[in-house]
Amino acid sequence: MTFTLFPDTRLTLARDALAGLSVGDALGSQFFVPGRHPDDLAAGRLPAPPWEWTDDTEMACSVVAELAAAGRIDSDRLALAFAQRCEPYRGYGPGAVTVLRLIRTGTPWPVAAASAFDGQGSCGNGAAMRVAPLGAWHADSTRRAAEQARDSAEVTHAHPEGVAGAVAVAVAASLAARARLDGDRPDPARLLAAVAAALDPAGEVHRGVRRAAALLGHPAAAAADALGNGSRVTAQDTVPFTLWVAATLLHDYPAAIRACVEAGGDVDTTAAIVGGIVAAYTGVGVPGGVPEGWLTAREPLPGWLTAA
Ligand code: F2R
Ligand code: MG
């Protein structure tokens, strides 16, 4: 069934996904601080604010700014926005730092992205970590979410697995936002099957999503052991587990973020991906949604985004 999605609704969905992404990123990154333990979160002992966000949020803000300004992703504009706004101390991956420096100094993005990792292109999880708000914006079309996710990914990630990670997350966020509009929570297996259907069946991310579906109902620790927790910082090692968490805990933002923290690995990024998808469904400041207190503890989003 097709329906009209008004620009204000798209923006609300994308902003809620960004709130969930940025809080997940900022809270997740607190668990790299020595002395911090996941049990603290489970016991309700939160780190002292402010929780500073990282590259995940900085790049996601550029994605949302482009959508708000133009209604779509234009790859040339997005590449320039990523490059110009990059604050390297935010914890960017090494490949991303190099690609963005090349773009900033005049190399066309297709050349810069293709040069990463000895010409293989990056399969890092960076294209997936920033894309959930784009998926939420396209709550009316998983096909459009997948197309635009590809456009947003390719400017930095030329490797097919890096792009597939972004497509998978965007399709999941699109389905989550659609489910919110419909008031009908999707069955976890159906959600993962729909994501897998959007991916190249020969790819590793596709294989991981199918394995995630087979692990539904198992403990989170077993899912992380089998699927990876992002410790390799690649899309293949990150996206399948995040989709397992999002599908399993789509109704409960705090529990979904706790599952990422307890799994360890690349926690800021697993929590950013999961937080973006889950908040597209739950919203903010409602039962099961992004807690207001967590949003307040997160460092404010960049001034250039809030001004726009
Ligand atoms: N940099 C990090 N996390 C490490 C530090 C964690 C923590 N703060 C700590 O103190 O311990 N996080 C940020 O990087 C990830 C996003 O990365 P992106 O944008 O994809 O960058 P890059 O460098 O292109 O890829 C990341 C790594 O993936 C591996 N990789 C990529 N392509 C590869 C290829 N073709 N062959 C082999 N390996 C490849 C490399 O290890 C890259 O370094 C997010 O987690 C973000 O938060
Ligand atoms: Mg980060």
Around 119, how many Cα atoms within 13 Å sit in the side-chain half-sphere? 0
> What pLDDT, on the 0 to 100 scale, is given for residue 1?
54
Confidence of residue 4 (pLDDT cuts 50, 70, 90): confident
**How far does residue 233's CA lie from ligand 1's centre (Å)?**
5
> What pLDDT, on the 0 to 100 scale, is given for residue 35?
85
Domain spans in the chain, listed from the N-terminal domain onward: 7-307
Residue type, 192: L
Nearest to 198 by CA among 166, 246, 241, 159: 166
**SS3 of the chain: helix, strand, coil, percent, to 5:** 70, 0, 30
> What pLDDT, on the 0 to 100 scale, is given for residue 3?
75
Q: How far is CA 46 from CA 25, 49, 50, in A?
A: 14, 9, 11
Residues with CB under 5 A from ligand 2 (ion): 54-56, 91, 268
**How far does residue 12's CA lie from ligand 2's centre (Å)?**
24
Convert 104-136 to b/e letters by CB count within 10 Å (16 or more is b). eeeeebeebbbbbbeeebbbbbbbbbbbbbbbb
User: In the chain, what percentage of residues exceed pLDDT 70?
Assistant: 99
Q: What is the pLDDT of residues 118-132, one digit of tens each?
A: 999 999 999 999 999
Q: Is 270 assigned to a binding site?
A: no
The class level of CATH for 7-307 reads mainly alpha
Q: What is the pLDDT of residues 239-251, one digit of tens each?
A: 999 999 999 999 9
Question: Among the atoms of ligand 1, which is closest to the Cα of residue 92?
Answer: 13
> What pLDDT, on the 0 to 100 scale, is given for residue 148?
98
Pocket test for ligand 1, best of 25, 233, 237 (most atoms within 8 A of CB): 233
275-295 average pLDDT score? 98
137-156 average pLDDT score? 98
> What pLDDT, on the 0 to 100 scale, is given for residue 2?
64
> What pLDDT, on the 0 to 100 scale, is given for residue 14?
98
> What pLDDT, on the 0 to 100 scale, is given for residue 216?
98
Q: Is 55 assigned to a binding site?
A: yes
> What pLDDT, on the 0 to 100 scale, is given for residue 281?
98
Q: Is 56 assigned to a binding site?
A: yes
User: In the chain, what percentage of residues exceed pLDDT 90?
Assistant: 96
52-78 average pLDDT score? 98
> What pLDDT, on the 0 to 100 scale, is given for residue 214?
98
The answer on pLDDT for 192 being more than 60 is: yes
Mean residue pLDDT across the chain: 97
